[in-house]
């Protein structure tokens, strides 16, 4: 089984999206940037997720259909805690803007996916646009950055992707227990021409991927936690027709990269607007579950 090949190292002072990175993104649907966030920045982020009441107050558990739960906390706007600074900082926003290349982007939502040791559930094969499409977004002009909080390996349920699958366009999805899943016959057919690759990552690595890339992750049967912070951006020109549980166009209040390490707000989540269990159930009933 392959590993990702479009891999770059973050360089502190001169990092930018190069023509090679852009070509990789267009051809493969992703790039992996090693060390986008350093240890100091990641330790600062961990304080938000580990020492505040974010998980206990806002965490939701979704059945993965195999006896385990996928666990998620999801919010609409970035806010001004450390996770918000990450979502608003230049190195993330510029990279997403340049890779997508569709003009101004805005924060569509952020989420913590906390896959705990032995108990963390699977994410079934899907495209993010497979369900975001149902949020009245006309174009697949969205990008996600997956930031590894813990080491992500095959044994603790790292992301698995089908590079190049974004070129298939949006494929049909259906509800499987409580998750939206791409139709399995089509996934198996696409795997033959877009072979599966594992996104093994170190803490601070960031995977930028297009919203039509097919991806999944397996359950965590290992003794090692696998938490990840995912930030989704939509384009201003693709503002949803119908307001819903993710953000309408809202300009990003940009901050310099230094704001991530300097931020000392770990507990004030003013403005984030968390998805509640009630809203989540409603989405599920309309076939639009966020996982
Ligand atoms: O974190 C994971 O393992 C998968 C997350 C994912 O696929 C998603 O949120 O769309």
pLDDT at 284: 54
Residue with tokens 């995977």: 207
- In terms of residue numbers, what domain contains 78? 2-285
Tell me, in angstroms, the distance from the centre of ligand 1 to residue 76's CA: 17
Within-domain flag for 80: yes
- Report pLDDT for 281: 55
Residue 33 within a domain: yes
Decide whether any atom of ligand 1 lies within 6 Å of the 173 Cβ: no
Q: What is the mean pLDDT of residues 61-80?
A: 91
Q: How far is the CA of 50 from the centre of ligand 1 (A)?
A: 20
Overall average pLDDT of the 102-120 stretch: 96
User: Which CATH number characterizes residue 179's domain?
Assistant: 2.60.120.620
Tell me: pLDDT of 280 over 80.
no
Angle at alpha carbon of residue 232, lines to 231 and 233, rounded to 5°: 125
| CA 166 to chain centroid | 15
Is 152 near ligand 1, meaning CB less than 6 Å away? no
Predicted pLDDT of residue 177 = 81
Q: What are phi and psi of 65, to 5 degrees?
A: 85, 0
Q: Is residue 251 part of a domain?
A: yes
Average pLDDT over residues 95-108: 98
pLDDT in tens, 22-57: 999 999 999 999 999 999 999 999 999 999 999 999
Is position 291 within any domain?
Answer: no
Nearest atom, ligand 1, residue 228 CA: 1
Query: Would you say residue 92 lies in a domain?
Result: yes
Verify whether ligand 1 is closer than 6 Å to residue 230 (CB atom): yes
Quick: pLDDT tens for 138-153: 999 999 999 999 999 9
- Tell me the pLDDT of the chain averaged across its residues: 94
Q: Is residue 290 a part of any domain in this protein? A: no
Task: Decide if 283 contacts 289 (C-beta within 8 A).
Answer: yes
Shortest-distance atom of ligand 1 to CA 128: 10
Number of domains observed in the structure of the chain? 1
Q: Which pLDDT does position 87 carry in this prediction?
A: 98
């Amino acid at each position: 089984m392959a590993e990702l090949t479009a891999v770059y190292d973050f360089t502190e002072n001169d990092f930018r999206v190069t023509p090679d990175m852009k070509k990789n993104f267009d051809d493969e649907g992703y790039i992996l940037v090693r060390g986008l966030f350093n240890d100091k920045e990641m330790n600062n982020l961990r304080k938000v997720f580990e020492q505040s009441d974010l998980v206990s107050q806002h965490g939701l558990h979704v059945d993965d259909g195999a006896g385990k739960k996928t666990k998620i906390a999801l919010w609409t706007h970035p806010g001004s805690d450390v996770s918000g600074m990450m979502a608003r900082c230049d190195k993330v926003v510029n990279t997403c803007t340049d890779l997508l290349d569709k003009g101004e982007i805005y924060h569509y939502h952020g989420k913590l996916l906390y896959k705990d040791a032995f108990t963390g559930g699977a994410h079934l094969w899907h495209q993010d646009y497979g369900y975001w499409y149902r949020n009245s977004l006309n174009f697949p002009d969205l990008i996600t950055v997956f930031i590894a909080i813990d080491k992500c390996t095959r044994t603790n349920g790292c992301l698995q992707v089908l590079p190049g699958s974004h070129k298939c366009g949006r494929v049909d999805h259906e509800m499987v227990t409580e998750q939206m899943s791409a139709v399995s016959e089509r996934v198996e057919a696409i795997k033959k021409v877009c072979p599966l690759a594992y996104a093994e990552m170190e803490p601070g690595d960031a995977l930028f991927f297009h919203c039509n890339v097919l991806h999944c992750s397996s359950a965590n049967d290992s003794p090692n936690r696998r938490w990840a912070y995912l930030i989704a951006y939509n384009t201003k020109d693709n503002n949803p027709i119908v307001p819903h549980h993710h953000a309408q166009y809202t300009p990003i209040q940009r901050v310099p990269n230094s704001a991530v390490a300097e931020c000392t707000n770990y507990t004030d989540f003013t403005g984030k607007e968390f998805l509640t269990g009630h809203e989540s159930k409603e989405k599920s009933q309309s076939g639009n579950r966020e996982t």
